[in-house]
Structure 1
Amino acid sequence: MENFLLHLLYILEANIILFVCQAFTILIVLKLIVDKKSASNILAWLLAILFIPYVAIPFFFILQRKDKRSFWQKENMDISESGLQSFCINDSDSCKNLPIETINVFTNMDLPTLTSKNSFEMYTNGVKSFEAFMEAIKAAKKNIYIQTYVFKNDTTSKLVISALEKKAAEGVEVKMMIDSLGSFYIYRHNRKIFKNLRKLGAQVVFFMPVISNPLRNYINYRNHRKIYIFDNQTVFSGGMNIGDEYMSPIEHEGMWDDILFKIQGDSLAYFLKVFCSDWHFATNEELEFKIENTISQEGFVQVIPSGPDLQQDQLYSGLITAINSAKEKLWIITPYLIPSAELYHSIILAKKKGIDVKIITPKKSNHQLADRARASYIRDFLANDIDVHFTKNMIHAKAVLIDNNIAMLGSVNLDNRSLFLNYEIATFLYSKNDVEKIYQWADKILADSTQSTQHMTTSRGSLIAESILKILTPLM
């Protein structure tokens, strides 16, 4: 009798668990439909729930929380407040060769408008990047704002801290904002490296702390932006975080290929706007700023943020529009190649239109799972006669080049996490001379790359794993 009751309780317990799982599955599907998620995203979650329900269901509710902020206003920022002159692209003779369709996609979705007076300089060598970055710190007289995803505890970061301490001691306003997950080791174990810097009056904050407030924290929606502002006159951005593999005082083995670029001019107001928005979210402190543009040369730049602080995926929409507008060239440089379905089809369609499509990605990245997940996409691209080039060195740069008048640089990787979840910032360059500089750098990368796929395994098990990962990529 006792065994019968235990067996009955076991069956009842199993049925209750099954019912709960089914109920949560229905709720999750309804939530995904209400949120207008893609069919591939819904399928990926269903498969995850089917095979690993006890992991997938809790993770769904952890990962799906999205904190939309109202600080970034729907209206375009009033550029007159920053001492800028409004610029109407439709009335300028110099704008005839601009990609108006792409520009308007952003401005019509309440993102920053085009700016016309900017200087652009690009650094692709880690040592030269470090030298330019340190020179900007040393030259600062009023303020230094640093926002980064990764801040290491190594030679480069210690030199940066030392330089910032000197500026703080001189009375320069120093503010640092570091993502707590991207720099988890520093955040969790070694925050003391900022002790003296803070004593000297600098502010160092961690974006969305992952330990101090775990119930409100999100594994997704990390701040992946890299914004370095000096005296409200110069901004550095791109893919470089602060650490030895990105920039360094000396050449060494293990340095990555990456891009750090410097901009002065009208567009700085929008970099400041993004930084101030993130700072307000992290500290509840509102910053005021003014800029005086001393740049008179023509340089067309549009600064495009993306992330949970915006109501739509405007950056993604603009990127797809730009790719679909390509007539001659589409070159993509990315460390992690896990495109959405729409992006994947746009790339293949570009090739079918006879466009020169090249993809540059590392032979081996710093994330093995990402390499596994990209494999099936690479095979598909190769099957469609798309040139895929593998770099020997880890390439962390992110760039999309379209014809001779569009270049997208910044922090955005071509994967779902970067395109739809993280806080990111992209810079669109529309001046032919600036775009040409990036093509020249890409040519050098191509010269040292290979199109051999011998490093890609072809065993049955690997191909099956790749197919499964391709289905699950919307979750990555």
Structure 2
Amino acid sequence: MQPFFHPTALHLLSLLHAATVTLGLLTYIALTHSGRQRRPPAAALAWVIALIAFPYLALPVYLLLGTRKLSHRHLARNASNSDGPTLTRGLDLPPPRPCSRFRLNSEGQQALDELLSLLDGAQSSIAVEIFIFREDSTGQAIIDALARAVQRGAQVRLLLDGLGAFIGHRRTARALRAAGVELRWFSPIRLHLHPQFGRGNLRNHRKLVIVDEQRMWSGGRNFASEYFTGDVHNAAWQDLSFILEGDIVQDALAGFARDWAIAGGEPFPAALTTSASHAAGPHAQLLPSGPDRRDDTAHALYINAIHRADVRVWLATPYFVPDDALQQALLSAARRGVHVRLLLPAQSNHRMADIARERSLRELAEAKANIYLLPSMLHAKLVVVDQAFASCGSINLDGRSLFLNYELNTLFFDIVQIGAFTAWFEQQCQHASDYSARPPSWPRDVGEGIVRAVGFQL
């Protein structure tokens, strides 16, 4: 009597059953893991739908990119911030520190000159953390300055994002190593099991230079020509950077040491234990945000501050893709009479982000917020709330910066320093045009909705 099923068919059915069970278990594990990641609702829903509807496609992507926070034992720990400003208490941030010198660089050539002067003044050490380091005239000038520092006997450490920096220019990295620069890649994309496996979506977007453990440079600029002076291939972008001195540099150095250890797979250095300073003079506070923080610090701070705002909320960002909580905070502020102003490029270098922002802009315009569009590319990231603080650094107002990337801003509390940022903001608004909301066509509205559905990745 012939068997009902051919043995080969039975074998294939067994393999199919095993594969189905395995896929189901992995999908369940991924869904459970995703639920513990404390994602924004839209991001969580998108992952759930993808994992259920297309597990064979979404599961490998989730395994590579789905982790949002480091494990609890790897989270940064800071000294108590209970005596800091009310807005920043409970966010596990370094406390406010004196900053004895502050210089804001809004003009590109001046910013480049001051950065190179800072590097050329280094005697003992330089620590650099950057997202993009392009091999162009600006990048080469910085490379030469780092090489000169090594020749003077300074220790030079360079931490580059494993995806953003030196894309296609690894020979420059080899040249830097040959010159004596210590170089590490932060979270390079790997397809094999590794301590950073599953974190390929968590990019290091921080911009930081520390010289002789006494002076720091930070802001929104990367190391490429368009962020400073422009060149024959790229027009100069509007951006901000600044130089600080004072005790705040020690917090920046501690943050760099943690990121350096993460990139090298080394034990984390002990956290600083000093408390907030009550010395006279201007104070500033670092605002690190990202997978190494317990909370989404910048997102929590901004929403809290906007809800408390009485007079003004001024925002400048190249990419505006707010989640529902941030959008509702801005709408509420505008409707109760707070002066909400939003400065954006008329067209950024990311078309998808421009499409994703439209629905939010229309809602804000209807709530009587003032929206200004610059004809040139704006890359500066600035938030000013009342006279409470000005926040400047690497953090964009989009899901990637607020929920995924390693980011670094600085909070300024001094009235004079806040005034320097507001003066720049006012000057930029004079060169901008007013946003005019137009009802979208049906296809446009559908397209905006689809793009916003993946807005947490923009």
**Which category of TM-score, normalised to the shorter sequence, fits these structures?**
0.7 to 0.9
Q: Quote the Cα distance in structure 2 between the aligned partners of 1:406 and 1:382.
A: 25
Query: Which residue pairs with 2:223 in the alignment?
Result: 242
- 1:306-357 deviations in Å (ceiling 9; x for gaps): 2222222233222222222211000111111111211111111111111000
Query: Which residue pairs with 1:102 in the alignment?
Result: 87
Asked if 1:149 corresponds to 2:131, the answer is yes
Question: Are 1:68 and 1:308, in contact at CA under 8 Å, matched by a contact in 2?
Answer: no
Q: Quote the Cα distance in structure 1 between the aligned partners of 2:40 and 2:75.
A: 26
Question: Are 2:230 and 2:237, in contact at CA under 8 Å, matched by a contact in 1?
Answer: no
Q: Quote the Cα distance in structure 2 between the aligned partners of 1:128 and 1:389.
A: 25
Q: How does 1:13-412 map to 2 (within 5 A)?
A: 26-49=28-51, 53-65=55-67, 66-68=69-71, 70=73, 73-76=76-79, 100-103=85-88, 105=89, 108-183=90-165, 185=167, 189-211=168-190, 216-217=196-197, 218-248=199-229, 254-283=235-264, 284=266, 298-412=281-395
Provide closer, same or farther for how the CA distance between residues 32 and 205 of structure 1 changes in structure 2, counting only shifts above 3 A. closer
Residue 301 (structure 1) shift: 0.4
Query: Which residue pairs with 1:440 in the alignment?
Result: 423
Q: Quote the Cα distance in structure 2 between the aligned partners of 1:474 and 1:29.
A: 18
Query: Which residue pairs with 1:466 in the alignment?
Result: 448
Residue 170 (structure 1) shift: 1.3
Q: Give the 3-state SS of the residue equivalent to 2:63 in structure 1.
A: helix
Residue 173 (structure 1) shift: 1.1
Residue 109 (structure 1) shift: 3.6
Q: Quote the Cα distance in structure 2 between the aligned partners of 1:14 and 1:286.
A: 45
Q: Quote the Cα distance in structure 2 between the aligned partners of 1:437 and 1:427.
A: 14
Provide closer, same or farther for how the CA distance between residues 42 and 69 of structure 1 changes in structure 2, counting only shifts above 3 A. closer
Q: Which amino acid aligns with 2:410?
A: T
Question: Are 1:102 and 1:318, in contact at CA under 8 Å, matched by a contact in 2?
Answer: yes
Provide closer, same or farther for how the CA distance between residues 178 and 38 of structure 1 changes in structure 2, counting only shifts above 3 A. closer
Q: Quote the Cα distance in structure 1 between the aligned partners of 2:41 and 2:82.
A: 41
What percent identity do the matched residue pairs reach?
27
Q: Which amino acid aligns with 1:243?
A: A
Q: Quote the Cα distance in structure 2 between the aligned partners of 1:357 and 1:266.
A: 33
Query: What 5-or-longer segments of structure 2 have no aligned partner?
Result: 273-278
Residue 404 (structure 1) shift: 2.0
Q: Quote the Cα distance in structure 2 between the aligned partners of 1:179 and 1:9.
A: 47
- 1:279-312 deviations in Å (ceiling 9; x for gaps): 111123878999xxxxx87112011212222222
Q: 1:416 aligns with which of 399, 406, 421?
A: 399
- 1:363-405 deviations in Å (ceiling 9; x for gaps): 1111111112112211222222221111111111111011123
Query: What 5-or-longer segments of structure 1 have no aligned partner?
Result: 78-85, 90-99, 291-295
Residue 231 (structure 1) shift: 1.1
Q: Give the 3-state SS of the residue equivalent to 2:318 in structure 1.
A: coil
Q: Which amino acid aligns with 2:254?
A: K
Residue 133 (structure 1) shift: 0.3
Which segment is superposed worse, 61-70 or 372-381? 61-70
Residue 151 (structure 1) shift: 0.5
The alignment of Structure 1 onto Structure 2 pairs a total of residues equal to: 445
Q: Which amino acid aligns with 1:225?
A: R
- 1:63-120 deviations in Å (ceiling 9; x for gaps): 223434746653418xxxxxxxx9966xxxxxxxxxx3213x2xx3432111234322
- 1:413-461 deviations in Å (ceiling 9; x for gaps): 111111111111111111111111101000111111112448x893322
Q: Quote the Cα distance in structure 2 between the aligned partners of 1:211 and 1:39.
A: 28
Residue 209 (structure 1) shift: 1.9
Q: Quote the Cα distance in structure 2 between the aligned partners of 1:379 and 1:135.
A: 44
Which segment is superposed worse, 46-55 or 253-262? 46-55
Q: Quote the Cα distance in structure 2 between the aligned partners of 1:12 and 1:73.
A: 47
Q: Which amino acid aligns with 2:174?
A: K
Normalised TM-score (structure 1): 0.83
Residue 224 (structure 1) shift: 0.7
Normalised TM-score (structure 2): 0.87
Q: Give the 3-state SS of the residue equivalent to 1:192 in structure 2.
A: helix
